[in-house]
Amino acid sequence: MVANTTITFKKPAVPEKGTAVLLTGKELALGPVASSLDEAAGSRFAVAAKIKGYKGALRKTLELVAPSGVDVERIIFVGLGDVDSDIDWLRLGGATAKALPDEGEVTVVLQDAEGRGPNGEDAAAFALGLVMRRYRFDRYKSRKDDEDSPRGPMTVTIGVDNPEAAEAAWKDASAVAEGVELARNLVNEPANILGPVEFADRLGELKAKGLDVDVLDEKALTDLKLNALLGVAQGSVRPPRVVILRWNGAGDEAPIAFVGKGVVFDTGGISIKPAAGMEDMKGDMGGAAAVSGVMLALAARKAKVNAIGIVGIVENMPDGNAQRPGDIVTSLSGQTIEVINTDAEGRLVLADILTHVQNVAKPKAMIDLATLTGAIIVALGHHYAGLFSNDDALASALLDAGQATGEKVWRMPLGEEYDKLIDSKNADMKNVGGRWGGSITAAQFLKRFVENDTPWAHLDVAGTAMGSPSSDTNDSWSSGFGVRLLDQLVKSSYEKA
């Protein structure tokens, strides 16, 4: 069950209880089932539509409460519009969820004016959009009279022409929904609850889903010489962790690797951030959350692929033992880094775990996700993630996956001119490159830790993983961005048929 919602599919039939959801076509045309229910309720739809000015536009809704002559408690009409893709059905499901009560029984009839419905994949996409939009992070709500009080359980029956095909597609889609929910929960948790150890413990629970989970503690990280990561963590009383998640669904093939920045709270360290808005830095582990979510999704749907996820989990705090501006650390790769700004800490964490995953797994491709720079928000706002890559084929596949899922990415440049900006007089490199092109110089920094023959992409999700604007499929501060994107990438480019 995702978002406290149970989904089942059956043949279209006239709803008999709870909430009924019916589709409206052009010129307010109703399908056979919708027409039957409306007729039984006194043909009030046309009258209500006229009074409310409802035109049946795409994803617009009209509600009739306590209709006479029928046993359903309410009827919700949803504009069908011209839907022709998974993403359209996904958004339609989300728009439907916005109009639903907080709990109870719901029957949705996916049938147009001619009595036709979506195929199995599209019906599953509708259900995915519905459960994603129903998600609410309410575990710390104690007042039941709040507008955002905890939602109760909901049972949703979806009427569709081929329920067997829809059920089969929903098995995969619900696995992705689990991954999105996990990512959202991790990002939404306050940092006093979710420290590095607690984060690692939660990922340990994914063994029950079929993932192999290895947790590297502070001693192991010290022995392995992940000094760049350890330098970030040394100002916190809470010890760091690196967690490695493995899913083996394709024999002996080299895996695809997902790498996530997991800074559970980022004060900026000695280069401390301004107080205003610092509470949002509980979400500076959005990349690690997305990696965790996609690995859960792959395991839950038993994807025919080998994948490895690695997350570096630290807290960046000011302290008498904290890393200082001007310190020089030797990374796992052997390259030395002059720390100019301790608030540019995520790239230090990623540098070591990028090296480690290449050493232990020799991946066929490697994608890192990180809430890395405010500069990417200046460039792209909150609707696209920044994409940097050394491989055109991988970049193209990510762009396509972004369009297919609505988790969109925009390719940004890399180049020698930007790389020179992180050269240091005192070490092999410095961790910041100046005011201009901050997201690019951060990516150039990471690129120095990627072996030349490894296809690699960096996704800067600072504007999309947290504080994202409300949408048809999300009303939570945390979006879970990256889970559906990477799952789609695996399906389209790496998974065995």
Catalytically active residues, by annotation: 273, 347
Measuring CA to CA, which residue among 73, 194, 176 is closest to residue 132? 176
Measuring CA to CA, which residue among 357, 421, 366 is closest to residue 391? 366
Q: Is 416 one of the annotated binding-site residues?
A: no
Question: Residue with structure tokens 């020799």?
Answer: 362
Alpha-carbon distance of 231 to 324, in angstroms, equals: 9
Provide the angle, in degrees to the nearest 10, between the axes of the packed helices 86-99 and 392-405: 40
What's CA 426's distance to the chain center, in Å? 39
**Amino acid identity at 114:** E
**Residue 186, helix vs strand vs coil:** helix
Element (H, E) at 385: strand 385-389
* Residue 191 CA neighbour count, 13 Å, CB half: 22
Compute how many other C-beta atoms are within 10 angstroms of the C-beta atom of residue 193. 12
Alpha-carbon distance of 376 to 440, in angstroms, equals: 9
- Residues written for the chain: 497
**Amino acid identity at 384:** Y
Question: Residue with structure tokens 């559970």?
Answer: 264
Alpha-carbon distance of 135 to 145, in angstroms, equals: 18
76 touches 20 (CB < 8 A): yes
Q: Is 343 one of the annotated binding-site residues?
A: yes
Q: Is 345 one of the annotated binding-site residues?
A: yes
Dihedral in degrees, nearest 10, Cα atoms 174, 178, 183, 186: 160
Q: Write the DSSP assignment of 221-249 as a string of letters.
A: HHHHT-HHHHHHHTTSSSPPEEEEEEEE-
Q: Is 284 one of the annotated binding-site residues?
A: yes
Burial of residue 27, with CB atoms counted within 10 A of its CB: 0-12 exposed, 13-18 middle, 19 or more buried? exposed
The DSSP bridge partners found for residue 458 are 368, 388
Q: Which residues are annotated as a binding site for Mn(2+)?
A: 261, 266, 284, 343, 345
